[in-house]
Amino acid sequence: MVNNSLAGGLIYAYSFAVLIFIGFYCIFARRNMIRILIGLEIISKGIALLIISGGYPDNILVAQALVITIIVIEVCVMAAGLSLVIKAYKQSDSIDIRTFSKLKG
Amino acid sequence: MFLFVFIGLPLVLAGFMPVITRISKRILPDILGNLCFFLLLVASLSIFHLWPGAGRFYHTLVWFDSNLNIPLVLDGFSLLMIFISSFVALSVGLFSINYLDRYGSRTLFYSIMLVLVASINGIILAADLFTMYIFIEAAGISSYGLVALGKNRYSTEGAFKYLVLSAIGSSFILLGIALVFVNTGTTSIKEIASVTFSSTKLGVILFLVGFGLKCALVPFHFWMPDAYAFAPAVLPAMSSGIFVKVAGVYSLCRVFFNVFGLSFAVSSAMIYLGIISILAGAFLALGQTQLRRMLAFSSISQIGYVIVAFGIGTPLGIIGGLLHLFYHSIFKVLLFLNAGAVEYATGTDESKSLGGLGGKMPFTSGTNIIGILSAAGVPPLNGFWSKLIIVIALVQAKMFLYAFIAVFASVLTLWYLLLIQRRIFFGKLKETLAHVNEVPFWMTLSMVGLALFCVWTGVAFAPFISRWILPAAQVLIDGVRASLNAFIIGG
Amino acid sequence: MNALLLAGVLIFAGLAVFLRDMLKAVICLLISSVFLGIVFFRLNAPFAGVFEISVVAGLIMVLFILTISLTGAEDTVSEPKIHIAFFAVLFLIFSCVVLYRLPAAEKLVVKPDHYNSFGEVLWIGRAFDMIGQISVIFAGVFVLLAVVGRGRNGK
């Protein structure tokens, strides 16, 4: 198991799982729109940690290429999300997700 | 070199669009955008004529004698989706020549549409799971842009909910890809397929949830009604017509049929989720009065049909699923474009404030009738054949209760669609609507073209099945073997 | 040593969720990114570490701070009160699930890379991803323009 697991230690797997949990909790249990985006960012960090620790030491180059691409994608998604938050604030003067439950899904 | 035009041409044009249209802001974006979509349609049809009928081709692009290689893969399933994407893009492009008069920012719209089409073609032609993910994200970000083009605060609300839920779906997909990478050290489809997996239950659940969020399966459907209700009508047409199918259903089938192989657990999960989607979509659509929202719930229901058909796994089920995928793109885009036409002419699509438009807008109401009859599965239009094949596949697999549910939901579909059509197009004309005219030429052309295609594919459905659908079905039936045996064409 | 760094990542990420002041929460996220970048360095992934520190702890934090200053979010949003106990219960359930499912994250096939350098991976091995990134960046730029409402022409 030691040779086969992540980066030679289970601690990376545990940290990745805890990060994912914190991220999802933040998205679902918080009402500030900006904090929801913070939760999304934390999930991406967890996935990056999983990929790098899973690629060590054999596939570390490919793992780095994947993580760099994921970070670029996150920048674009965050930019789109934050600009929507600013537009929402301009239109209705609040960034509480509760004031945006006019449309019942 | 030839396959790369599907991704490269829209992308380059999107990059140059803001520069080129300094010359003329009104006509040039329309001409360039629609010309590009038309060229893509012609390209997909010409590949179809050269197609040997079977096989999976890897096409590597060699750039200026260097070692650069871009592996693009094409097989029957990809060819079908490329054709659908070009056709839907062309129809929506023609429609928006007049529709964008209300929204301004014509250049921006065409740029976003071109990036969306390029990303969707990228998802279809990718040979690698991670590349597929990147293009799914690119297409998703473009559709957030299309939603954000709307003008009121409800569209911003819908856009934010859409962004968050869609990003959660992408995170699940990425988690699955990361787990697969950790397990096998690679993300290429061909190499993953050659590893036999024994303990992939976690990855399977992650992919199901992720792709389910992308294709609006119940219980992951919450973003669809809100995102579609107040966005400009071209967004639901593009999103439900092609993006939900490619990023959701196509990717789901690629991963579960060609990479992992369809196991019993996945098959049952797909059937259960599909049946729940069919029922929930149909029942939730009953109480709606706004046309676009009701069509969103109807989309959820129809995508449920497709997922059930793929979940059955028998060849007849796969054929039915592919056929319904194809036909649903056509008639659902037609219905959403009708909603857009109504909104363009009267300013709203809330059925409580409309009535009696049939006399004023004959083309819109005529094509709407054809669209509704296709969606409900009335012979001889196209929806009938695809639903019939799905029901026969369910009966053949001895799932009689589910077959009954499928037929029952089809009757419900007819009911709620006809109800809202009656309210909007028939009845007495309200005084506030007396000034309404038929919509301009390009919008009418696009809607009539789609309606004629519905009728044609309904009446002459057999050649469609044998030449387009059967090669695609063969790829999925071959399963994991299809991704291992591939011919390599240098480029 | 790596354990301490990982603990730092987790603690600061947790703080970013629970702090009331938005600015302090974002700064905690920034410190968490720096720790993660150092972890990447120690795992022989210098490029990923550099990218993580410069892009996430730099660019995205700048975007967040810009948004916070534009929306004046001195936390006028009240959060629900039951969160601490709820969080602990969910976390317990979650860790039981994770301990059961952890064997899924192990290497089944050990296959070393056949690339010589990082540049070769990025530009030759995964060249299609670069085109994908160009698409994503175009999409992001056009979406920003659409939301801001700048490209309003051609009426």
Radius of gyration of chain C (CA): 21
Residue B237 contacts residue B88 (beta carbons within 8 Å): yes
* Mean pLDDT value across residues C131-145: 92
Residues of chain A contacting residue C64, judged by C-beta atoms under 8 Å apart: 34, 37-38, 78, 82
Which residue bears the tokens 């004529």? B49
- Are residues C1 and C68 located together in one domain of the fold? yes
Contact (CB<8Å) A102/B187: no
Q: For residue C135, what pLDDT is reported?
A: 93
Distance CA B179, CA B202 (A): 9
Residue A19 contacts residue B151 (beta carbons within 8 Å): no
More confident residue, B265 or A49: A49
Contact (CB<8Å) A40/B130: no
- Chain A residue with minimum CA distance to C27: A38
Q: For residue A6, what pLDDT is reported?
A: 59
Distance CA C55, CA C48 (A): 10
DSSP letters, B113-125, are HHHHHHHHHHHHH
Most A CBs within 10 A among C106, C117, C133, hence the mutation to make, goes to: C106
* Mean pLDDT value across residues B295-315: 91
Q: For residue A3, what pLDDT is reported?
A: 42
pLDDT tens profile A9-37:
678 888 888 888 889 888 888 888 888 99
Contact (CB<8Å) B107/C101: no
What is the fold of A6-93?
A: Helix Hairpins (1.10.287)
Q: For residue B272, what pLDDT is reported?
A: 92
Give every CB contact of residue B209 below 8 A, 6+ residues apart in sequence.
B169, B172, B220
Residues 40-59 of A with CB under 8 A from C: 41-42, 45, 48-50, 52-59
Q: Is the pLDDT of residue B85 over 50?
A: yes
DSSP letters, chain A, are -TTTSGGG-THHHHHHHHHHHHHHHHHHH--BHHHHHHHHHHHHHHHHHHHHHHHTTTSHHHHHHHHHHHHHHHHHHHHHHHHHHHHHHHHHS--BGGGG-SS--
Tell me which residue of C48, A24, C131 sits closest to B138, measured CA to CA: C131
pLDDT tens profile B306-350:
999 999 888 889 999 999 999 999 999 999 998 888 888 887 778
Residues of chain C contacting residue B22, judged by C-beta atoms under 8 Å apart: none
Look at residue C63 and tell me if it is in a domain.
yes
DSSP letters, B417-479, are HHHHHHHHHSSPPPGGGTT-----HHHHHHHHHHHHHHHHHHHTHHHHIIIIIHHHHHHHHHT
Of C43, C59, C70, the CB nearest to A75: C59
Tell which phi-psi region holds residue C71, choosing left (phi > 0), alpha (psi between -120 and 50) or beta: alpha
Q: Is the pLDDT of residue A1 over 60?
A: no
Between chain A and chain B, the number of residue pairs with CB atoms below 8 A apart is 96
Query: Strand B69-74 to strand B57-62: parallel, antiparallel, or no bridges (unpaired)?
Result: antiparallel
Give every CB contact of residue A67 below 8 A, 6+ residues apart in sequence.
A48, A51, A52, C40, C45, C48, C51, C52
Q: For residue B63, what pLDDT is reported?
A: 61
Nearest 5°: phi and psi at C2?
A: -65, -30
Task: Supply the mean pLDDT for chain B.
Answer: 85
Residue B31 contacts residue B21 (beta carbons within 8 Å): no
Distance CA B29, CA A4 (A): 55
Q: Is the pLDDT of residue A102 over 70?
A: no
Closest chain B C-alpha to C109 CA, distance in angstroms: 5
Residue C77 contacts residue A32 (beta carbons within 8 Å): yes
Q: What is the pTM of this model?
A: 0.92
Q: Is the pLDDT of residue B238 over 50?
A: yes
3-state secondary structure of B73: strand
Look at residue C22 and tell me if it is in a domain.
yes
Residue C136 contacts residue B138 (beta carbons within 8 Å): yes
More confident residue, C81 or B218: B218
Contact (CB<8Å) B201/C151: no
Residues of chain B contacting residue A31, judged by C-beta atoms under 8 Å apart: none
Residue B217 contacts residue B277 (beta carbons within 8 Å): yes
Q: Is the pLDDT of residue C55 over 70?
A: yes
Of A15, A37, A57, the CB nearest to C9: A15
Residues of chain B contacting residue A30, judged by C-beta atoms under 8 Å apart: none
Distance CA C95, CA A14 (A): 9
Q: For residue B488, what pLDDT is reported?
A: 58
* Mean pLDDT value across residues B210-233: 87
| E strand spans, B20-124 | 57-62, 69-74
pLDDT tens profile B114-152:
999 999 999 998 888 999 999 999 999 999 888 888 777
Distance CA B317, CA B310 (A): 6
Residue B179 contacts residue B203 (beta carbons within 8 Å): yes
Look at residue C82 and tell me if it is in a domain.
no
Domain boundaries, chain A: 6-93
The stretches of C1-155 forming alpha helices (DSSP H) are: 2-18, 22-42, 46-51, 61-71, 83-101, 118-120, 127-148
Buried b (16+ CB within 10 A) or exposed e, B101-123: eebbbbbbbbbbbbbbbbbbbbb
What is the amino acid identity at position C128? F
Q: For residue C73, what pLDDT is reported?
A: 58
Among B5-9, B17-21, B116-120, B249-253, name the one with the lowest average pLDDT: B17-21
Total number of residues shown for chain B: 491
Query: Per-residue confidence at C80, pLDDT binned at 50, 70, 90?
Result: low
CATH of the domain at C42: 1.20.120.1200
Domain count, chain C: 2
Tell me which residue of B238, C67, B236 sits closest to A80, measured CA to CA: C67
- Which residues span the domain enclosing C3? 1-75
Distance CA B123, CA B126 (A): 6
- Are residues C13 and C63 located together in one domain of the fold? yes
3-state secondary structure of B377: coil
Distance CA B153, CA B150 (A): 9
- Within chain C, what is the greatest distance between any pair of CA atoms? 62
* Mean pLDDT value across residues B1-25: 83
Distance CA B109, CA B30 (A): 10
- Are residues C57 and C126 located together in one domain of the fold? no
Contact A92/C at CB under 8 A: no
Q: For residue B53, what pLDDT is reported?
A: 63
Per-residue tokens: A37: 């985006």
* Mean pLDDT value across residues B17-23: 80
Q: For residue C153, what pLDDT is reported?
A: 46
Residues of chain B contacting residue A40, judged by C-beta atoms under 8 Å apart: 164, 167-168, 171
Query: Which one of B144-153, B357-366, C18-27 scores highest in mean pLDDT?
Result: C18-27
Most A CBs within 10 A among C15, C17, C70, hence the mutation to make, goes to: C17
- Considering C48, C75, C102, which residue would you say is the last residue of a domain? C75
3-state secondary structure of B72: strand
Radius of gyration of chain B (CA): 21
Contact A14/B at CB under 8 A: no
More confident residue, B480 or B61: B480
| E strand spans, B27-130 | 57-62, 69-74
Nearest 5°: phi and psi at B28?
A: -65, -45
Torsion, Cα of B260, B265, B270, B271 (10° steps): 140
pLDDT tens profile B259-272:
887 788 888 989 99
Distance CA C88, CA A69 (A): 34
- Are residues C62 and C132 located together in one domain of the fold? no
Residue B36 contacts residue B6 (beta carbons within 8 Å): no
Q: For residue B211, what pLDDT is reported?
A: 93
Residue A16 contacts residue A49 (beta carbons within 8 Å): yes
Which residue bears the tokens 């990036």? B115
Look at residue C27 and tell me if it is in a domain.
yes
Of C3, C94, C107, the CB nearest to A4: C107
Distance CA B162, CA C154 (A): 28
- Chain C residue with minimum CA distance to B138: C136
Q: For residue C154, what pLDDT is reported?
A: 37
Distance CA B468, CA B470 (A): 6
ipTM for the whole complex: 0.92
Q: Is the pLDDT of residue C113 over 80?
A: no
Residues of chain B contacting residue A4, judged by C-beta atoms under 8 Å apart: none
Distance CA A67, CA C118 (A): 13
Nearest 5°: phi and psi at B24?
A: -145, 120
Closest chain B C-alpha to A84 CA, distance in angstroms: 7
Contact C136/B at CB under 8 A: yes
Nearest 5°: phi and psi at B57?
A: -110, 125
Q: For residue B171, what pLDDT is reported?
A: 94
Of A10, A76, A85, the CB nearest to C136: A76
Give every CB contact of residue B295 below 8 A, 6+ residues apart in sequence.
B228, B236, B240, B332, B335, B336, B339
Look at residue C5 and tell me if it is in a domain.
yes
Please give the C-alpha separations between residue C95 and each of A24, B8, B300, C89, C92, in angstroms, as whole numbers.
14, 46, 34, 10, 5
Q: Is the pLDDT of residue A40 over 90?
A: yes
Contact (CB<8Å) A32/C77: yes
pLDDT tens profile B270-289:
999 999 999 999 999 888 88
